[in-house]
Amino acid sequence: MDPVRPYSPPPADHAPPLYIDAALVVLVKPAGLLSAPGRGPDKEDCLLSRGQHRFGELFLVHRLDMDTSGLLILARSREAHSRLSAQFRERRIDKTYEAMVAGRVAADWGEIELPLSCDWPRRPRQQVDFLRGRPSTTRFRVLNRDPAQGRTRLELTPITGRSHQLRVHCLALGHPIIGDPLYGNAGERLLLHARRIAFAHPLSARPLAFEDAPPF
């Protein structure tokens, strides 16, 4: 979270979950809301606490940046949490994001392989670091180009899951995500949305896939 900005989460949304059963719930996190509680009592309001208020005990399986919107899986038991977490560790969960970036991306598709590390003097910023960075890979595909607005809509598929990976890789590509307060120009919101997620049900192993259209 950007330490300069005060935390001002959006109002609670009581829309039904995208999916719910005895093992898990899939929710859509709005931009501006933390996935999990932050430091201090003023940052206790988050998707996890809101979900627990509505659905009882929940366990966070993965996170989205505060400024990113989109799909999040929450487990409803420790067993489901353990099995879903294993799928993330073993990279068996497919995630697809959609972003609006500045400028015209020339290539129709491509892959960004740049190692990332924390930029400690400016944390929580991350940076490309060829000396100590962890291997990081993102695939991208152009969905459309808007020459009038000077921007491009991208589909982004993270192969690894580093902190701020998509945001730093787009910046390194020369096309920062629009509305990014850390790596570009702050706007009304960061135009980055976790659009699709596919995984195996933690108890039955049944394939599951969910999509949510970006609100931009």
Average pLDDT over residues 156-166: 96
- Is position 91 within any domain? yes
Does residue 8 sit within a domain?
no
**Residue 176 domain-assigned (yes or no):** yes
What is the pLDDT, as a whole number, of residue 57?
Answer: 97
| Number of domains comprising the chain | 1
Bridge-based pairing of strands 69-75 and 192-200 is parallel
pTM here? 0.93
What CATH number is given to the structural domain containing 112? Answer: 3.30.2350.10
The average pLDDT across 181-185 equals 89
Q: What's the pLDDT at 3?
A: 47
pLDDT of residue 160: 95
Is 65 a catalytic site residue? yes
10 domain residue, yes or no: no
Q: Which two tokens stand for residue 124?
A: 């929580």
Tokens (6 digits) for 153 = 């809509």
Given 13, 45, 65, 67, the catalytic residue: 65
Which whole-number Å values give the CA distances from 216 to 23, 65, 172, in the listed order? 31, 17, 23
**The predicted structure's pLDDT at residue 61:** 96
Cis peptide before 124 (omega within 30 of 0): yes
- Please indicate, yes or no, if residue 24 is contained in any of the structural domains: yes
C-alpha distances (whole Å) from 169 to each of 41, 53, 128, 153 are 33, 36, 8, 15
Q: What is the pLDDT of residues 110-145, one digit of tens each?
A: 999 999 999 999 989 999 999 999 999 999 999 999
Structural domain boundaries, residue 185: 19-211
Residue 4 confidence (pLDDT)? 58
pLDDT in tens, 23-74: 999 999 999 999 999 988 889 999 999 999 999 999 999 999 999 999 999 9
Residue linked to tokens 């970036």: 101
The two tokens of residue 41 are 């009592």
In a domain, 12, yes or no: no
Task: Kindly state whether residue 80 falls inside one of the protein's structural domains.
Answer: yes
Q: Look at residue 73 and tell me if it is in a domain.
A: yes
Residue 38, SS3 per DSSP: coil
